[in-house]
């Protein structure tokens, strides 16, 4: 991620949205670049795609996935997500979703940038329980829906992670996620030992 570009975009977005919010003074947005960077670097504000997959598979009722892409792009979303386009977030229809203390909102777009802008705005406004999906929909598709089989020299942890992701991929897509067939060696036929002939006979 280009941190400087992202920070500049977020700061501009904060000022713009603050001017649009009903009942909010423009000077309510006071984050400087250092504060924005500090907030963005905290892992506690993110869910990884693996954590999200686990929560969805286990049926955790405490999370709400929010896809903030335009309605026209709301195709093949992550299972269970609702669509709240970025430009509709602070309307009367949707603002209540982001200012509540019951559900954990996990925000995502195609990548981190747009969701990060929204998260910083909601945080500055004092809203709680809003989190980011690290890597967004792009990371979800590449790591969970289409996991790559590790190199043969990869550590055991990489194979363990692949197995978990392959199982998650099967859960979400219904397809079997298996490594390429050329990674399997054909089984050698088992050679049976010949039975020894019993010498002699009945006397």
Residue 138: pLDDT over 90: yes
pLDDT of residue 184: 37
CA–CA separation, 94 and 198 (whole Å): 87
pLDDT of residue 127: 86
CA–CA separation, 131 and 175 (whole Å): 29
Residue 35: pLDDT over 70: no
Give 11's pLDDT tier (boundaries 50, 70, 90). low
Higher pLDDT, 72 or 11: 72
Residue 81: pLDDT over 90: yes
Q: How many CA atoms lie within 13 A of 67 on its CB side?
A: 19
Higher pLDDT, 4 or 51: 51
Residue 39: pLDDT over 70: no
> Superfamily for 3-141?
Rhodanese-like domain (3.40.250.10)
β-pair type (82-83, 63-67):
parallel
Instruction: Delimit the domains of the chain by residue range.
Output: 3-141, 146-179
pLDDT of residue 24: 46
């Amino acid at each position: 991620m280009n941190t400087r570009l992202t920070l500049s975009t977020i700061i501009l977005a904060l000022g713009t949205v603050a001017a649009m919010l009903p009942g909010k003074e423009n000077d309510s947005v006071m984050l400087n670049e250092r504060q924005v960077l500090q907030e963005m670097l905290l892992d506690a504000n993110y869910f990884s795609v693996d954590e999200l997959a686990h929560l969805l598979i286990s049926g955790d009722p405490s999370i709400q996935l929010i896809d903030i892409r335009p309605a026209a792009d709301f195709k093949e979303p992550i299972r269970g997500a609702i669509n709240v386009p970025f430009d509709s977030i602070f309307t009367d229809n949707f603002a209540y979703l982001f200012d509540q203390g019951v559900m954990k909102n996990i925000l995502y777009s195609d990548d981190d940038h747009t969701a990060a802008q929204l998260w910083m705005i909601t945080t500055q406004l004092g809203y709680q329980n809003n989190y980011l999906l690290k890597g967004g929909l792009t990371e979800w598709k590449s790591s969970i829906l289409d996991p790559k089989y590790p190199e043969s020299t990869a550590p055991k942890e990489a194979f363990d992670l692949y197995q978990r992701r392959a199982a998650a991929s099967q859960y979400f897509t219904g397809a079997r996620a298996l490594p390429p067939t050329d990674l399997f060696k054909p089984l050698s036929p088992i050679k049976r030992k010949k039975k020894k002939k019993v010498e002699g006979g009945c006397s």
